[in-house]
Amino acid sequence: MTGDGSSAMAAATESIRRIPALDIESFIHRAFLKAGMPDGDANIVAQLMADADLNGSDGHGVFRLPGYIKRILSGGLNLTPDIKVEKERDAMALVNGDNGQGHLVMRYCAQKAMEKAKQSGIAWVGAHHSNHAGPASLYAKMPLAEDMIGLYAAIGNANHLPPWGGTEMLLSTNPIAFAVPAMEEPDVVLDMATTVAAYGKVKAAAQRGEQMPEGWMIDREGNPLTDPTKSDEGFLLPIGGPKGYGLALMIGLLAGTLNGAAFGKDVIDFNADFVTPTNTGQFVAAINIAAFAGIDNFKRSVDSVIRSMKTSPTLPGYDEVHLPGEQSHRKRLDRAENGVPLHDGLLKVLADLAEELDVGPLA
Amino acid sequence: MTGDGSSAMAAATESIRRIPALDIESFIHRAFLKAGMPDGDANIVAQLMADADLNGSDGHGVFRLPGYIKRILSGGLNLTPDIKVEKERDAMALVNGDNGQGHLVMRYCAQKAMEKAKQSGIAWVGAHHSNHAGPASLYAKMPLAEDMIGLYAAIGNANHLPPWGGTEMLLSTNPIAFAVPAMEEPDVVLDMATTVAAYGKVKAAAQRGEQMPEGWMIDREGNPLTDPTKSDEGFLLPIGGPKGYGLALMIGLLAGTLNGAAFGKDVIDFNADFVTPTNTGQFVAAINIAAFAGIDNFKRSVDSVIRSMKTSPTLPGYDEVHLPGEQSHRKRLDRAENGVPLHDGLLKVLADLAEELDVGPLA
């Protein structure tokens, strides 16, 4: 697990290096600063992105930096946004992100939700004119610090999914995340796309020259598509068929339409268009546990649920039952001690970025 | 579609009769009244159950009446519950259902959520000591009347699902429902179990002597189980594998653990035990659209999303794209005009019930 390339692990690990999270954070900070982001904001975004890498959200940490920087240098992001509440009541707010970096907007929204939920018991804060904010779990987990349950959902920044039975890509992988605190056990954190596979997994399979299993994608005739280099010829499949389509649609209506953010035909493919504002929509909700129950009692009950799941006998082929967030928790412990594993391919891209920006390299 | 048994449709329809919804409602009312439920409560429950039948929720309307009556006659339900708020803040309440009929408890919760959301913008009301309340969509749809979005989830009343990779049935099909109002188009209403198939579909396949498709259930070795008469030898599969397991778990924590209701090992199988209080947990949330946007503008935007989905070209084998709730809406129009189709088998059971209770028969 330490990625030192020794003995039998050499073949599998020689293309991976372990980089301390603090080095990653510092590099991201340098890059944003050089691209023109104010120091305080660059600090916040760098910390959240490095946090994503620590948590094992490999497609949402430093991996995203080149795309974010490209958007800034293309003039597609507002570096000095006036992020503010446009409408609010006791238990809700609608936030205008002013086309700022999504991490800043969603951190603002999560804090606002926690602040309101302290009094009102629950609060829901939606955003429009936001941008890609990294993994959903980051914002669902923020309320945990105040002994609250977190809920987050977002409209993905590219459409890869048609409505069920259709062929026009009008939906994204629209992820949803929940975080529930435990006492002695790791917190329960679910962070899932509403598609069987996230699009990043398709791209990763293509990079590795591997075939995809049936069930990830279909082509325009409805046949299984297993060659990831042909992903442009088909679309992702939602979980549970029409159910996952329904979930993606509902998240779109709640995170997009309700907030006045882009949904459906209006979604910009942010991997192809680095200039047009994305008008990304997201929401975060915080549920104040103290309003419902004694906090310690609740957390102990969550421990008890976790333990009952963990002690279930297993199916053939399964070593153990996992709780949502458990594997991320283990990765975090490992990565905090041994560094974040980054592929040579990504390290090369980041080295090129350092040269382009003329900032100190990552490692 | 009228079920009159004419010509080519004879074989398919001869075992079905169309019964006016008002007759169903009146029969349910008579049965509950005779079983000892106060008149006003019997009215409310009968109306909601007939509504479920009109909406096409065939497993949640009059079909459930014999089980409900059996629970009452077994002493498992409180006929004169003191349904009340135990804890509340501006945007939340925790309701004790006092072991009353679930429909009464959840209607109370939905009304409380709407009342609070008028001021606070959103409200979330959880319940414990509730009971089975019929289809999730009933309560998600209630806030539509006040131009609010509804959200509902419940812990199912029997465990049919192990944690992912396990074999101990610790989870139920835990359904979730969302309802979003449109302007000219039918409202968008998603009501879904977090399993590929609801358990009622397994029982229906067994009744019809049909095999199940692969993907609905597996046996204790992890192999596909397709014979519905052997459903006791296996368990339901969650949508998207570990994702559906994660959703069922999160709904359990939110609707059960947070409310002090039964979840996991504590869930009573209400089809086997008609005496022990179920301590069912559910929650309903109402989001006040006016807090976020102009109501008409929002509804028009929803219409526009619906139309963009409907006009997507279709995959081979699909005649049209459906929105969640669209087929239920069509069924409602048909059933309101032509009656609710009930199978002879169910009609026989209801005739027996009428005799047992000594009330006027359904038809």
Q: Report the candidate in A250, A261, A249 with the shortest Cα–Cα distance to residue A95.
A: A261
At B319, the pLDDT band (50, 70, 90 cuts) reads very high
Smallest Cβ distance to A178: which of B119, B250, B291?
B250
Helices (H), A154-198: none
Contact A106, A93 (CB under 8 A): no
Determine which of A220, A247, A265 to mutate to test the interface with B (most B C-beta atoms within 10 Å).
A247
Q: For residue B172, is pLDDT > 80?
A: yes
Smallest Cβ distance to A190: which of B168, B246, B316?
B246
B160 plus B101 within the same structural domain: yes
* Cross-chain residue pair A287–B242, CB shorter than 8 Å: no
In the β-sheet with B148-154, what is the strand arrangement from edge to edge?
Answer: B84-89, B92-96, B122-130, B280-288, B148-154, B176-180, B188-192
At B72, the pLDDT band (50, 70, 90 cuts) reads very high
With CA atoms as reference, the chain A residue closest to B192 would be: A243
The two beta strands, A122-130 and B16-19, are: unpaired
B170 plus B246 within the same structural domain: yes
Q: Is residue B332 part of a domain?
A: no
A151 plus A262 within the same structural domain: yes
Q: Tell me whether B260 touches chain A (CB under 8 Å).
A: yes
| Percent of chain B clearing pLDDT 70 (strictly above) | 96
Q: Is residue B273 part of a domain?
A: yes
What is the Cα–Cα distance from B187 to A95, expressed in whole angstroms?
26
Looking at residue A2, what is its pLDDT? 34
With CA atoms as reference, the chain B residue closest to A263 would be: B305
Q: Is residue A210 part of a domain?
A: no
Q: Which residue has the higher pLDDT, B204 or B45?
A: B45
With CA atoms as reference, the chain A residue closest to B301 would be: A257
What is the Cα–Cα distance from A138 to A49, expressed in whole angstroms?
9
B291 plus B311 within the same structural domain: yes
Q: Is residue B202 part of a domain?
A: no
* Contacts with B, A 268-287, CB within 8 Å: 287
Number of helices and strands in chain A (H, E): 12, 12
In the β-sheet with A92-96, what is the strand arrangement from edge to edge?
Answer: A84-89, A92-96, A122-130, A280-288, A148-154, A176-180, A188-192
Q: Tell me whether A308 touches chain B (CB under 8 Å).
A: yes
Q: Tell me whether B216 touches chain A (CB under 8 Å).
A: no
* Residue bearing tokens 């209630």: B142
Smallest Cβ distance to B122: which of A91, A192, A291?
A91
Domains identified in chain B, total number: 2
Q: Which two tokens stand for residue B139?
A: 């309560």
* Cross-chain residue pair A165–B258, CB shorter than 8 Å: no
What is the Cα–Cα distance from A355 to A36, expressed in whole angstroms?
16
* Cross-chain residue pair A91–B91, CB shorter than 8 Å: yes
Q: Report the candidate in B248, B175, B321 with the shortest Cα–Cα distance to residue A192.
A: B248
Sign of CA dihedral A218, A222, A227, A228: negative
* Cross-chain residue pair A264–B92, CB shorter than 8 Å: no
Write out the E strands in chain B. 16-19, 84-89, 92-96, 122-130, 148-154, 176-180, 188-192, 217-219, 224-225, 234-236, 280-288, 340-343
Q: Is residue B97 part of a domain?
A: yes
Using CA atoms, how far residue B274 sits from A31, A113, B66, B68, in Å, is 65, 42, 12, 9
Pairs of residues, one from chain A and one from chain B, whose beta carbons lie less than 8 Å apart = 248
Smallest Cβ distance to A166: which of B88, B293, B314?
B314
Q: Tell me whether A250 touches chain B (CB under 8 Å).
A: yes
Contact A42, A26 (CB under 8 A): no
B15 plus B146 within the same structural domain: no
Question: For B255-267, how does the pLDDT look when each residue is reduced to its tens digit (9 = 90+)?
Answer: 999 999 999 999 9
Residue B82, classified by CB atoms within 10 Å of its CB into exposed (0-12), middle (13-18) or buried (19+), is exposed
What is the Cα–Cα distance from B181 to B190, expressed in whole angstroms?
12
Smallest Cβ distance to B313: which of A87, A164, A167?
A167
Residue B88: CB atoms within 10 A of its CB come to 16
DSSP state of A58: T
Looking at residue B198, what is its pLDDT? 84
A96 plus A189 within the same structural domain: yes
B66 plus B122 within the same structural domain: no
Name the average pLDDT for chain B.
94
Q: Tell me whether A307 touches chain B (CB under 8 Å).
A: no
Nearest Cα of chain A lies from the Cα of B188 at a distance, in angstroms, of 8
* Cross-chain residue pair A149–B254, CB shorter than 8 Å: yes
Looking at residue B8, what is its pLDDT? 38
Q: Is residue A298 part of a domain?
A: yes
Question: For B110-119, how does the pLDDT look when each residue is reduced to its tens digit (9 = 90+)?
Answer: 999 999 999 9
- Average pLDDT of the residues in B38-47: 98
Helices (H), A15-64: 21-34, 39-54
Cβ-Cβ contacts under 8 Å, B91 against chain A = 90-91, 117, 120-123
At B20, the pLDDT band (50, 70, 90 cuts) reads very high
H or E segment to which residue A224 belongs:
strand A224-225
Q: How many CA atoms lie within 13 A of A269 on its CB side?
A: 8
Contacts of A185 (CB under 8 A, 6+ apart): A302, A303, A306, A307, A323
Coil, helix or strand at residue B236: strand
* Cross-chain residue pair A94–B264, CB shorter than 8 Å: no
A278 plus A255 within the same structural domain: yes
Q: Which two tokens stand for residue A7?
A: 């003995």
Q: Report the candidate in A172, A85, A92, A186 with the shortest Cα–Cα distance to residue A136.
A: A172
Q: Which two tokens stand for residue B197?
A: 């198939």
Contact A152, A136 (CB under 8 A): yes
* Contacts with A, B 132-161, CB within 8 Å: 149
Q: Which two tokens stand for residue A169?
A: 């890509």
Query: CATH number, domain at A157?
Result: 3.30.1370.60
H or E segment to which residue A110 belongs:
helix A102-120
Looking at residue A205, what is its pLDDT? 87
Residue B247: CB atoms within 10 A of its CB come to 29
Nearest Cα of chain B lies from the Cα of A164 at a distance, in angstroms, of 6
- Average pLDDT of the residues in B144-172: 96
B95 plus B179 within the same structural domain: yes
Please calculate the CA angle A55-A60-A61 and round it to the nearest 5 degrees.
70
With CA atoms as reference, the chain B residue closest to A128 would be: B292
Q: Which of A187-191, A320-324, B57-61, B99-103 has the lowest mean pLDDT?
A: B57-61
A56 plus A89 within the same structural domain: no
* Cross-chain residue pair A119–B316, CB shorter than 8 Å: no
Q: Tell me whether B89 touches chain A (CB under 8 Å).
A: yes
The two beta strands, B280-288 and B122-130, are: antiparallel
Query: CATH number, domain at B360?
Result: 1.10.1530.10
The two beta strands, B217-219 and B224-225, are: antiparallel
Looking at residue A255, what is its pLDDT? 98
B319 plus B349 within the same structural domain: no
Smallest Cβ distance to B121: which of A90, A239, A313?
A90
Q: Is residue B302 part of a domain?
A: yes
Cβ-Cβ contacts under 8 Å, A255 against chain B = none
- Average pLDDT of the residues in B47-64: 95
Smallest Cβ distance to A314: which of B165, B288, B289?
B165
Q: pTM of the full predicted structure?
A: 0.95
Nearest Cα of chain B lies from the Cα of A28 at a distance, in angstroms, of 31
In chain A, which residues have pLDDT < 70?
A: 1-14
A269 plus A345 within the same structural domain: no
Cβ-Cβ contacts under 8 Å, B260 against chain A = 292-293
Q: Is residue B174 part of a domain?
A: yes
The domain in which residue A320 lies consists of 82-195+238-325
DSSP state of B185: S
How does B36-58 read in b/e, with b if 16+ C-beta sit within 10 Å? Answer: ebeeebbbbbbbbbbbbbbbbbb
Question: For A136-177, how does the pLDDT look when each residue is reduced to its tens digit (9 = 90+)?
Answer: 999 999 999 999 999 999 999 999 999 999 999 999 999 999
DSSP state of B212: P
Q: Which of A59-63, A103-107, B14-18, B284-288 has the lowest mean pLDDT?
A: B14-18
